[in-house]
Amino acid sequence: MPALEAAPTVATAGTEAAASPRGLSAHVWPITAAVLALCSLSALGLAWMGNSRLQALEQELVRRQASSQGDASEARAAARQAQDLTRDTAAKVALLDARLAEVALQRGQLEELMQALSRSRDENVVGDVDAAIRVALQQTTITGSAEPLVAALRQADERLARHKQPRLEGVRRAVVRDLDRVKAVSVIDVATLAIKLDEVVRLLDELPLLSAADKSSELAALRQARAEKPAAKPAPKAEADEGWQAWLNAAQTRWSDTAGQVWQEAKSLLRVTRINQPEAMLIAPEQSYFLRENLKLRLLNARLALMSRQFDTAQSDLRDTLNMLDRYFDGRSRKVVAASELLRQVQGQARQVVVPRPDDTLAALAAAGR
């Protein structure tokens, strides 16, 4: 505003100066000097203020530069630490990757080893079961008994049940089927048959011969007749007047007893017997020992044939033994009947038994071993 107001004043002064040059210049110079002084002061103030602002700005810039340098140092240190950490992390990651790859490789090898061990274990089980069943089959074929095969199949079933492998369940089912088939076959109890033959051998020394039985039966009949003969009645007491009658009765009784005894003795001298086996009556007493020993030898041969599963030979010896018992021994004796019954039982049970082959089990084992 002072500058605006001064313009008209200067313009007026110019006008006045135009009117009077001297008077005008006398008024202009102080004003000009004042204006110049005022401008100089304003310029100095503005310069001082600018210098102050510049110094403050420079200080702020220095401070900020120092702060930036500190931040930059910290940033460089942090970057260096981050770089070191990144390097360490990369090294650790690379190590972990290497270890992970090694663990994966070891895991793969372990799985392959476990599978190989499992396959090897399964193959060992299959091989052992197959060998045991084949050996038992050979023993069954040689002995004719189903017991070795039954025992082998039962052991195979128990071992497969403990193994618990799904791929061997078919083998176990086949083993169970064959075991049921083999157990259904009637097994010959050779030990019981041998005991029965031993009992017959023991009874042979006590069996009565047919010739000795006839003599012993006649002697027994004679003893029985004598035992059953009525006893002589005591003579009745006779009175003195009947003495002769009592003596006559007593004499008659004695004569009848004597005649009966003479008749019995006469009948024993002559004997009529029907002989169905003439050769049995021709055996001398000293030959009975050899007859019994011959029967014992035949029974011993039959026993050995049973133990060796030669049933045809055993049947032949048993038939010969029964024929000799019927021919030379008394069939009415209870011991002879008991011995014949034992021999017939052995003859009926001593037969060849066909044991079925475990074909299902062998086929399942062959399929599992592939």
**Residue 240's pLDDT is what?**
43
Sequence-ordered strand ranges (E) for 36-123? none
Does the structural domain 119-187+356-368 have CATH classification 1.20.120?
Answer: yes
- Whether the CA torsion 17, 18, 22, 25 is positive or negative: it is positive
Tokens of 12: 């007026």
Is the confidence at residue 60, as pLDDT, over 60? yes
The string of pLDDT tens digits covering residues 160-176 is: 888 777 777 888 888 88
Query: Mean pLDDT across the stretch 110-129?
Result: 74
List every span in the chain annotated with CATH 1.20.120.
119-187+356-368
Is the confidence at residue 181, as pLDDT, over 50? yes
**Residue 305's pLDDT is what?**
87
Cα separation, 93 vs 195, in Å, equals 85
CA atoms within a 13 Å half-sphere pointing along the CA-CB vector of 31? 15
**Of residues 86 and 19, which shows the higher confidence score?**
86
Cα separation, 258 vs 222, in Å, equals 16
Percent of the chain with pLDDT over 70: 74
Residue tagged 């086929």 (tokens): 363
Query: Mean pLDDT across the stretch 288-316?
Result: 86
SS3 2: helix
Cα separation, 95 vs 88, in Å, equals 10
**Residue 68's pLDDT is what?**
82
Lowest mean per-residue pLDDT among 38-47, 195-204, 304-313, 361-370? 361-370
Please provide the average confidence, as pLDDT, over all residues in the chain.
Answer: 75
SS3 186: coil
Query: Mean pLDDT across the stretch 65-74?
Result: 84
Is the confidence at residue 73, as pLDDT, over 60? yes
The string of pLDDT tens digits covering residues 347-359 is: 888 777 677 788 8
Select, from the ranges 116-130, 197-211, 225-239, the one with the highest average predicted confidence (pLDDT): 197-211
Query: Mean pLDDT across the stretch 44-71?
Result: 84
Query: Mean pLDDT across the stretch 68-95?
Result: 87
A 10 A CB-CB count for 212 gives 14
Query: Mean pLDDT across the stretch 16-22?
Result: 46
A 10 A CB-CB count for 126 gives 23
Tokens of 72: 């930059």
**Residue 149's pLDDT is what?**
84
Is the confidence at residue 16, as pLDDT, over 50? no
Residue tagged 């079925």 (tokens): 356
SS3 175: helix
Contacts of 129 (CB under 8 A, 6+ apart): 156, 159, 160, 171, 175, 365
Angle, alpha carbons 54-55-60 (nearest 5°): 95
Q: At 329, give phi and psi (nearest 5°).
A: -115, 155
Query: Mean pLDDT across the stretch 54-80?
Result: 85
Is the confidence at residue 247, as pLDDT, over 50? yes
Contacts of 233 (CB under 8 A, 6+ apart): 253
Q: What is the band of 274 on the pLDDT scale with cuts at 50, 70, 90?
A: low
Helix (H) or strand (E) holding 230: none
